Each structure stands twice: as structure tokens, then as C-alpha cells.
Structure 1
Amino acid sequence: MTVTNADRESLRHGKITERPLRDKPGYPSWAIKLVMAVTGLIFALFVIGHMAGNLKLYMPAHDGVAALDEYGAFLRTMGAPLFPYESILWVIRIVLLVALVAHIHGAITLISRSGKSRGKFRRTNLMGGMDSAATRSMIVTGVIILLFLLFHLADLTLGLSPAAPETFEHGAVHANMIATFSRWPVVLLYVIANLALFLHLFHGIKLAASDLGITGRRWRVVFSWLAALVPLIVVAGNIIMPLSVLFGWVS
């Protein structure tokens, strides 16, 4: 007998099944990728603003007050007198914390699902160059950035020892930055963390274009340029500051 539909014949004999290999997740992967794209872009905007604000390290003092200290005071008094002291700053912190938790949760979930779907098979030699290096290192660079963030908060925000210098003083942003960047191990840590940030931003911005549904050729070219330009500007600005202090160019 000639079998015209092998799959249907296999189904009838119970050799294969139409049941899916995995239960459909309640939280679809496309939604997780969308959340990661949005939260990633939030962080990209934050690091740009954070870098720009810290560049006030190079601006002259005004009436004896360092420009960086004025910037720090501005962040704490935003919205005054309409809003309470530091209220806007805390709103920003909470938004960033929620975005961070959502971003990490999304990354862990997607990695887990990818591993289960792929099984014992591994994809190799799909791409080369910077794209390949950035893609393969996303987990590693993400962990480095997270650990650096914890150190950075302990160093220049909370003033916790041994991360922060002994002379740390709340509100004295300029003096605290000079003190912490006068330590070469801290400067080395900042350089390594920012190199990791470059790779993470480079791949993240390009990936966000796809996850946000931006598929047009011109827009993809724009995002490709942004993926290279934004990390380069941010990382260059972040690295030049600790090196300037370490080598005595700024005091």
C-alpha cells in the first residue's frame, strides 16, 4: 500500500503527536523582548545624561562653589518649591530600579527559554566581527555592569567603605570624585566597566531596533550608526574623567 500522507499515518498509529513540545508561556517572548528594549533605551538615555552632568568636573567654580557640586544640588532640589526635597530624584531612582529589575528578569527568562528550545545544539559561525563579539559577551558584560553599578553606588552615592574614599562627604560631589579617582585600582575598574558598557550598548541599541519593530532599511541604518556613536561618546566621556584626575590634569 502506498502512503500518501506519512505524517497522518504516523499520527493514526501514535508514532508522533500534535501536542506542542512545550506549554505556551503566559508571558510571550516578544513581550519580554519589548520590555528589554524599552528598559535598555531608558538606561541608554540615563548614561548619556549622567555622563554629560559629570563633565561639569571641567567647568570652573562659581562663587567658590564647584560646578559639579552645583549640579548635585540641582538634582536634589529639582521641582522645588512645588515638590519636596529630593522627591524628583527619588522618582528617577525608582524608575531606574524598576527598569533594572525588569531588564534582568527579561534577560534571565529569555536565556532560560533559549536554552530549553535549543537543547544540546549550539549555533556557531553565524556572524563575525564586532557583532559576534558583542552578542556573545552580552551576559558577561551585563554582569560586569551590574557589579560595577553596586560599587559605584557604594563609592560616590552612599560613601560606604572600602569602596568610597576615607574623605567622602555627602554633597561634596567634586571633592569625592577627585578623591576616588586618585586611586589607580578604582580608575582601572572604571575603565574595564566602561569597555563592557560599550559592548553592551553597541549590541543592545541594534537589538532594540528589531524588538521595537523598526525594520525599515533607512531606520536600521540610523540605529546602526547610533549603536556605534552613542557608546563611543558615553564611554569616552566616562573614561577621560578618571584618567584626568589620576594623571593630575584636574584637581
Structure 2
Amino acid sequence: MIRQLTEKDRNQILAFAGDRPAENLFIIGDIEAFGIEDDALTLWGDFDSQGDLLSILLRYMGNFIPYAQDPDALDGQSWAKVIQESGQLGRLSGLQSLVEKIVPHIQLPIVKKQTCQYAKRDLQLPIDNQEKLTDVKMLFPEEAEKVIQLRNSRFTSYAESPETLQKNMNKGISRTYYIERNNELVSSVSTAAETRRAAMIVGVCTKKDYEHQGYATSCLIKTIRALRAEHKQPCLFYDNPKAGRIYERLGFLPIETWMMVTY
């Protein structure tokens, strides 16, 4: 039985999704940030006859994310009906094994389909004590423009504004570590969607003239240490094999393929 969830269901939802805090970073993060009964967010649950959750579906704005502990328990056809009847579908994303069960039942044209690797780092894994560089600084929220300028120079489709980054930093769901040279920010690593138990690493970049000098790796190590001190599991997306090898050397292991389908 599928029904819309309310604040009364919070503990059951978090227990269900909390078994995999990295994989459910966006679902848990949105619940922590907005609650379950916010205009921008809707949650549904599919229950068995004993009242236990089989799967859940989150809508944040036009993005839908499904989750099930057992992919075989996810009813793709029923969830596709819920998504289409909402009239708000812009993107369906999540673990590929779950998203692929829903996509065939959605009767809308697909604009784009993308996949990337989703990786996480075990909290108990030791961290190399020898940082390549020690002059890694933490960005203040009012300095958000600096890191956005760097990202825009390296990423062709980066959309976050300085105002949004600053707001997220002030809310405590994002942070940035960076390296400066000649009073210029040349490398940085940020987090996004931080929850009590996990954080997404994003925006790993270095100015072209400063590449291959260990700057981004130093920022990553600083970020990992900070998250580990707060018992937050770091996770990230990547679709570049070269970047994947760097992340693997730092202890990140692939979870599963993440799929994003735009309608």
C-alpha cells in the first residue's frame, strides 16, 4: 500500500533510509533541512501488510529519488504512476538498480539519461598523516564568490550561485577548503547536502596553471579529516576514470552506479 508520509512517520523513514547514510544522503538531508511536510518536498511510502516499509519515494521540487533496501521490493509500475500523477516530474535519479525499475513505466519523453559512479569512504579507514601541503584554509561564507569563480573557469555547466553557496554554508550543509597562491584561490574542495552522518564532496577543482602539484589532493585530505572528526561519511560522484583513480587512492570505493534521467 502506497501513501503520502507525514511527520508522524519520520522515525520509521529515517530508520529505513539510515541503514545506508551515504546512499540516502539526499533523502535524509532534505528531511533534516525541510521536514516532511514542506511545500517543496513530498515523501511517499510503500508498506507491506505488517506496516513495514518496502520502499520510499522523495520529491524535492521536480526531482524524484526512490529507495528500497531490497531492489526486488520496489514496485516500479506503482511508483511511476505516483510520479506521473504528481505532474511535477523534471528528473528521476538514484541508484541505477532502483531507477531502472521505474523508467520503463513512465510515459514521458526522456531528454537526457546519465550515469556516474557513486563512491564512499569508510569512516574507520585511517588517514595518511602526511599531507602534501599544509596551507589549506577553510572558506568563510562571505568569500563564496571566490570559489564560484574558480569552478566556473573549470566546469562548463556549473550552476550554483555565490548567494546559494553562501546560504548553504551559513546553514551548515556545505563547507569549502581551499589553497591560495599570490592572493588568488587556485584549488578547492567543497561539501554539499551534509547530514548528521554523511556529506557529499563536490567541486573538486584546480586552476589549470596549478594542476599536478597535489593541491586538490591536499584539500581532499583536509575535507576528509574534518568530516571524520564529526563522524560524517564522505561520498562523491565521478564519471572520469582518472579522477576515480585519485579517489580510490584516498580510500573511496564505488557503491553503485547513480542514474539521472531528465524529462
* TM-score interval, smaller chain: under 0.3
Question: Which protein is richer in strand relative to its size?
Answer: 2
Question: Which protein is richer in helix relative to its size?
Answer: 1
Using the size of structure 2 for normalisation, the TM-score is 0.20
Using the size of structure 1 for normalisation, the TM-score is 0.21
Q: Which is higher, the Rg of structure 1 or of structure 2?
A: 1
